[in-house]
Structure 1
Amino acid sequence: MPLKELEVRYATKRCKDYKLADGQGLYLLVRPTGSRLWRMKYRFDGKEKLLSFGRYPEVTLAQARLRRAEARLALARGEDPGPKAAAPIVSFEVAARAWHDNRASALEPSHAARILSRLERDVFPVLGQRDLKQISAAEILEMLRAVEARGALDVSRRLRQHVSQVYLFAIPQGWASHDPAAGLATLLRPKPRVRHMPRVGVGELPALVRAIHAYDGDEKPRRRAVTRDALMFTLLTWARTNETRLATWQEFEGLDGSAPIWRVPAERMKMEREHIVPLSRQTVDLLKAVRVYSPGHHVFSGDKPGSPISQNTMIYGCYRMGYRGRQTVHGFRGIASTWANEAECYRPDWIEMALAHADRDEVRGAYNSALYLTPRRRMLQQWADYVLSMIEAPQKAAAPG
């Protein structure tokens, strides 16, 4: 595992030399005298060689990693890094990788990987080999315009942030004098306005709930049941279409206990992170009823053995209930969000977390999929009570509280 700053700072002397490895050949040599020296072992032309990067703390952990990155780039070009190790040229790629290494341990691994992938795809091919001090704002803007040209407006804005953060990391270490990306934010194309999916108002929810409960839009009884139950499950859990249709039984935990949950894996989430949904009593009852006619791998199985319902099953169900152009499956989330926000008894963070809208930027620190689980459980239970009360006594539907 990579070294931590505290390990280097408090490395104590022993009766003989010992090493603290940082990976990729870099290690800290601790001498019996107490001196701590940076070394890098590498092979060139079939021979094992050694680089000396200086003494800690004069050479920090971040600086040692920078010199390791430069040495590895030289090796990749077929050059022996030995003669150049004392006076490296700090290219953007070297600085960016050092910046990324310095903060990767504080990020969720998948998010750290996405950041590096963006840089490798769009920035390094254009600016990677350039000296940090020689890159102009116009060159960075040209690179970002190329990203915008393919319609990736969100990516272009994130790349500007990453480039700026690399410079903010480099400046205190003397690798650059200013941040040429700092003033570019206002020059980037704005993201288009969010197009909200059609949905009925909260006042029309009772009619929608009763239509789902009485759904008879398919000729085959099993198909009617799976469409009805998938729609109701989605409404009760605030899930997206693919989260529901691809749900498998192994994702559900504690259905017979007091705190049942649905653990949606990261690869199926829009934000690419695991999402935990606390399940109401009514949702658990629905799942147990579904299990009777859908015992296979998928909760909501399709007509073909081993396959889930199709992408269009639920939206066509909305059409058959008479809601074409008025209500989409994704729009269920909008109804739930409106209900929760108008109730004024649920914190916005609970609502956003229940909708899996949590900000994936690292500025919020480590992501916790179980965040606000207790208040979210209470909120979704009250939502289920509110929704299901409309079936038997729609004129007395319970208010949230």
Structure 2
Amino acid sequence: MPKIVTPLSAKSVQSLQHNGVGRKTMHPVGVVDGLYLVIYETGSRSWLFRAMLNGRRRHFGLGSARFVTLAEAREKAKAWKKLIAEGIDPIASKKAVEERRINFADAVDLFSELELQDVKEKERKAWRSSLNTHIIPWLGKRDVNTITSLQVAEVMKPLWIEKREMAKKLRIRLDKIFVWLKAKGYRTDDSPAKWADLKP
């Protein structure tokens, strides 16, 4: 059986060091099996996800720890683990998505044009108004494939406190857009606007 790793906090991860042996030290950080913080003898730190795909051990880099937080690395590892369980190579899937890169503002335009044609004018305007006011100023220029649940939560938190009903409607609209983006090949991961991920 695989060894159970005690989940480390962000503070504990920051305190991890190279052990002085070899070019790099790999520290399991818990929550997702196979997720490691790799610390090189030079002092640089990065995230690594190890998993079995089609009978082979594969290593997937998840980015520098300078730019990717522990929570973001766990979120990405969970998403890639799900793809692997379905027999999908995350790297190949990511390359396919990169060929169809689009920012969120353009994605909203495309979604509105293709999916809201049969929606009443009043509702269509409500969709666009809520997104233009509360989301696009902060996420509009971001590649839809890089947007995380943490980013969505950060943007929506003030609205959730001040206008709860509007926040609920907006989250549902965001979720529908991101599910559509994944189905159309613009995004690798599941929707970052799922309630189960935003609620905490």
TM tier, smaller: 0.3 to 0.5
Please identify the structure whose Cα radius of gyration is greater: 1
TM-score (norm 1): 0.24
Higher relative contact order, structure no. (Cα contacts within 8 Å, ≥ 6 residues apart): 2
TM-score (norm 2): 0.47
Whichever structure has more strand as a proportion of its residues is 2
